[in-house]
């Protein structure tokens, strides 16, 4: 059941629009007929496989299969264009496995203390973490910080459409029933990445096809060198524990972890100019951060009965159907099951490595497909994926609109990644800010009186100052060279 779940998850994750929560939800009724550990094994396989699977299409065709894989696409797709698709696929797999393994070990050894600490994250701390993550937009926008911040602000603005998260009132719906729920996240992601990339390919057609690599994994161009690991290892070592902690905080999720770790890797890199142009450590940081949440999201669920994300919320139903009530009593009353679950997590990671390694030889064959064939297929999958996910033709139109927006942003030098970051973090920052001020009765000092919040805000200021200084030095250097 683990292997079946992994294969299903990898395939679903690699197809734009078919998201992992949807796959887990569809598979949930099937598990009711199975033994508890067998049914949950299948769901865990789908979860882990799908979280990794998004990186495959992100690397090969610059279309993230999952929102978190958008961070992987920033460097993974560039490596493919440079003829190193196998190298990017290998690193995404190995970084994912390392992140999963670290997350599994932490779940087994430190679940209870981490869950207790994660519960200290209330609205104040979530707001500060969101603000700190938003400041990383400046770090990711080397060369034109103003354009990057503008894209981030646009993303935050777009996140305000739809129902007010606290009052339930419709905002910026303009009388439209479809807009009352806000912009579809799936339509936005597929639009700004898949559709915009297809439009760019049409424009580049006259200049000749993008150079494609050979497809033998044994070629030196597709093997990871010691130099690659020297750059990637520190990024993975930082990303895995950070991702574990983010996964343990209910409501944050893998997309935030991927982008946060990507930004940190770039900020601390000895060669930040390589990021966005094919930095192997960019792929490593994004994938290790993305996949290290997979086990830690179970920490609050198993110990406290609080799901860490949407997927564990669905899986909570599987536990309940089988008579397993998550919380402190689970460890006391069902200790054999808990032990079996811990072993299951480790076995799933091991099988993931085997299946992923076998699959690399198949995945890389996508680089052989001519662009004239590849991108019509991508567009067809995009249309189908959005419609299947939302069952709404309006969202297909939204996808096309965001595709044109993404194309225009790329054309005029505005990075699209900050827009997605702002869209993801906007609701977290807004809800955290408003709830904090309600609790504190409008007292803004609440954000510095909470130690965790104060630390994140200070880090955010440091990140902005550092990015601004780097931008100024870069501008001065360019001016001097021009003279």
483 residues of the chain, pLDDT tens digit each: 788 889 988 888 887 767 787 788 778 878 878 888 888 899 999 999 988 988 888 888 788 878 788 889 889 888 888 888 888 999 999 999 999 999 999 988 887 777 777 767 788 988 988 888 888 776 666 667 788 888 888 999 999 998 888 887 888 878 788 788 888 888 888 888 778 878 877 776 644 444 444 456 556 556 788 888 999 999 999 999 999 988 887 777 788 888 889 888 888 888 888 888 888 999 999 999 999 998 888 888 888 777 777 788 888 878 888 888 887 778 778 888 888 999 999 999 999 999 998 888 777 776 666 767 777 877 887 888 788 777 888 889 999 999 999 999 988 888 887 888 888 888 888 999 999 999 898 888 899 898 889 998 998 888 788 777 776 776 555 555 555
Q: Which of 2, 73, 62, 90 is nearest to 38 (CA)?
A: 2
Asked if 50 and 12 touch (Cβ cutoff 8 Å), the reply is yes
Rounded Cα–Cα distance for residues 307 and 301 (Å): 5
DSSP-derived letter for residue 74 is H
Asked if 404 and 243 touch (Cβ cutoff 8 Å), the reply is no
Structure tokens at 116: 């207790």
**Concatenated DSSP letters for 134-164?**
HHHHHHH-TT-HHHHHHHHHHHHHHTTSEE-
Rounded Cα–Cα distance for residues 371 and 387 (Å): 24
Q: Which of 270, 278, 377, 354 is nearest to 72 (CA)?
A: 278
Rounded Cα–Cα distance for residues 265 and 284 (Å): 9
pTM for the full predicted model: 0.77
Asked if 264 and 242 touch (Cβ cutoff 8 Å), the reply is yes
């Amino acid at each position: 059941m683990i292997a079946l779940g992994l294969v299903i998850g990898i395939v679903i994750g690699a197809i734009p629009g078919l998201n992992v929560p949807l796959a887990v939800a569809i598979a949930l009724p099937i598990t009711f007929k199975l033994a508890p550990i067998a049914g949950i094994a299948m769901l865990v396989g789908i979860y882990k496989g799908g979280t990794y699977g998004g990186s495959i299409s992100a690397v090969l065709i610059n279309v993230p299969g999952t929102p978190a894989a958008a961070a992987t696409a920033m460097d993974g797709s560039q490596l493919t264009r440079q003829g190193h698709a196998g190298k990017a696929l290998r690193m995404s797999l190995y970084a994912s496995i390392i992140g999963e393994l670290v997350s599994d070990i932490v779940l087994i050894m430190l679940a209870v203390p981490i869950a207790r600490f994660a519960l200290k994250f209330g609205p104040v701390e979530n707001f500060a973490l969101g603000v700190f993550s938003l400041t990383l937009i400046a770090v990711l926008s080397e060369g034109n910080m103003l354009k990057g911040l503008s894209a981030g602000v646009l993303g935050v603005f777009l996140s305000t459409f739809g129902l007010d998260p606290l009052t339930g009132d419709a905002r910026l719906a303009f009388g439209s029933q479809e807009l009352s729920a806000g912009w579809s996240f799936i339509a936005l992601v597929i639009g700004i990445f898949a559709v915009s990339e297809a439009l760019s390919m049409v424009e580049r057609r006259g200049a000749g096809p993008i150079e494609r690599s050979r497809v033998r994994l044994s070629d030196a161009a597709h093997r990871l060198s010691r130099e690659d690991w020297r750059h990637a290892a520190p990024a993975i070592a930082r990303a895995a524990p950070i991702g574990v902690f983010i996964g343990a905080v209910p409501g944050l999720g893998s997309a935030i972890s991927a982008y946060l770790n990507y930004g940190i890797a770039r900020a601390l890199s000895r060669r930040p100019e390589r990021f966005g142009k094919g930095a192997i450590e960019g792929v490593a940081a994004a994938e290790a951060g993305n996949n290290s949440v997979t086990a830690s999201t179970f920490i609050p669920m198993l110990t406290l009965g609080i799901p860490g994300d949407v997927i564990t919320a669905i899986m909570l139903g599987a536990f309940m159907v089988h008579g397993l009530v998550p919380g402190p009593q689970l460890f006391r009353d069902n200790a054999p099951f808990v032990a079996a679950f811990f072993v299951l997590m480790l076995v799933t990671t091991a099988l993931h490595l085997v299946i992923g390694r076998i699959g690399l030889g198949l995945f890389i064959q996508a680089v052989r497909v001519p662009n004239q064939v590849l991108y019509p297929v991508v567009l067809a999958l995009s249309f189908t994926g959005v419609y299947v996910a939302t069952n709404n033709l309006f969202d297909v139109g939204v996808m096309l609109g965001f595709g044109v927006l993404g194309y225009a942003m790329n054309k005029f030098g505005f990075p699209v990644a900050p827009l997605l970051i702002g869209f993801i973090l906007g609701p977290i920052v807004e809800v955290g800010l408003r709830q904090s001020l309600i609790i504190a009765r409008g007292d803004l000092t609440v954000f510095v009186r909470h130690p965790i919040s104060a630390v994140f805000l200070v880090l955010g200021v440091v990140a902005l100052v550092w990015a601004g200084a780097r931008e100024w030095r870069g501008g001065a250097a360019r001016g001097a060279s021009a003279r």
